[in-house]
Structure 1
Amino acid sequence: MRMLFINLPVKNIEISKAFFTGLGFSFNPEYSDERTLCMIVEKNIFVMLLQEERFREFINGDIADASGTKEVLNCLSASSREEIDTMLAKALASGGREWKPVQDHGFMYGGSFQDPDGHVWELVHMTEQA
């Protein structure tokens, strides 16, 4: 079975931990330390939040400034429209910022926000007819 690890640079690991904890995510302590957080999305899907100096150890070149440019859009499925609305409210209350307005296409409902480092997180719910 494959596993997915998305690696994102963060400026402050503690701010990221507080933000994503506020959204209901947990972390695998086995793969976390003072510069790295292994956020559990699902059984085999993880987001590695790496303090910028730690992230630099894995790349060539510069770190994109997510507050001014977008390097990736992270999209998570949601079980309902209500789950999206709830998570958006939690994200904004926990220090996230608005990204784009909620989109309602009937069969598909989506919302988005930026985390404290400017990374975009989209949430989408599709009905069975889609």
Structure 2
Amino acid sequence: MSSKMIFINFPVADLNVSKGFYEALGWKVNEQFTDENAACIVVDDNICLMLLTKPFFATFTQRPIADTRATTAAAYALSLSSPEEVDTLTEAAIAAGATEEVNVEKREQEAEVGMHGRTFLDPDGNQWEPFYMKLPN
């Protein structure tokens, strides 16, 4: 059976700022797929982000590019192996320039079902939701 991968394409205002942000999270740049228009960020073996300058991103679509700093287009939930890993990733993101969004009611609901999650926005306003969920035995 072949392995599947996901490549999430993000239009970015400043390629170097965005690339530096994701490197600060501990994610690696794949130089083979990186140039002045794009950077490939390896999250893990099966997940990559393609950071694309807005003019380059526009060549892939006929629709207008959303302003993710003003609106939410999607939320990227990332399952992690522990609550500590969630906190470590979120704190690294904040230190690198992310904005944390805190929803106390959502956190309380998650805690009731054995989840721990946080939300942060990257420099371009993309919404990340790292979480840990304790699975039933």
Calculate the TM-score normalised by the size of structure 2. Answer: 0.89
| Match of residue 86, structure 1, among 81, 85, 88 | 88
In structure 2, C-alpha distance between the alignment counterparts of 1:74 and 1:58, rounded to whole Å:
21
| Match of residue 108, structure 1, among 104, 115, 118 | 115
- Structure 2, unmatched stretches of 5+, are none
RMSD across aligned C-alpha pairs, in angstroms?
A: 1.4
In structure 1, C-alpha distance between the alignment counterparts of 2:32 and 2:102, rounded to whole Å:
35
Q: Structure 1 stretches (4+) deviating beyond 4 angstroms?
A: none
SS at match of 2:55: helix
SS at match of 2:60: coil
Match of 1:55 in 2: 57
| Match of residue 122, structure 1, among 91, 107, 129 | 129
In structure 2, C-alpha distance between the alignment counterparts of 1:68 and 1:13, rounded to whole Å:
19
Work out the percentage of aligned pairs sharing the same amino acid.
38
In structure 2, C-alpha distance between the alignment counterparts of 1:3 and 1:86, rounded to whole Å:
25
In structure 2, C-alpha distance between the alignment counterparts of 1:87 and 1:124, rounded to whole Å:
10
Calculate the TM-score normalised by the size of structure 1. Answer: 0.93
Computing the radius of gyration from Cα coordinates, the structure with the larger value is 2
Provide the aligned length of Structure 1 versus Structure 2.
Answer: 130
SS at match of 1:19: helix
In structure 1, C-alpha distance between the alignment counterparts of 2:98 and 2:22, rounded to whole Å:
10
Match of 1:10 in 2: 12
Match of 1:20 in 2: 22
**Structure 1 letter corresponding to 2:99:** R
In structure 2, C-alpha distance between the alignment counterparts of 1:128 and 1:92, rounded to whole Å:
28
Structure number with the higher helix fraction is 2
| Segment of structure 1 superposing worse, 80-89 or 103-112 | 103-112
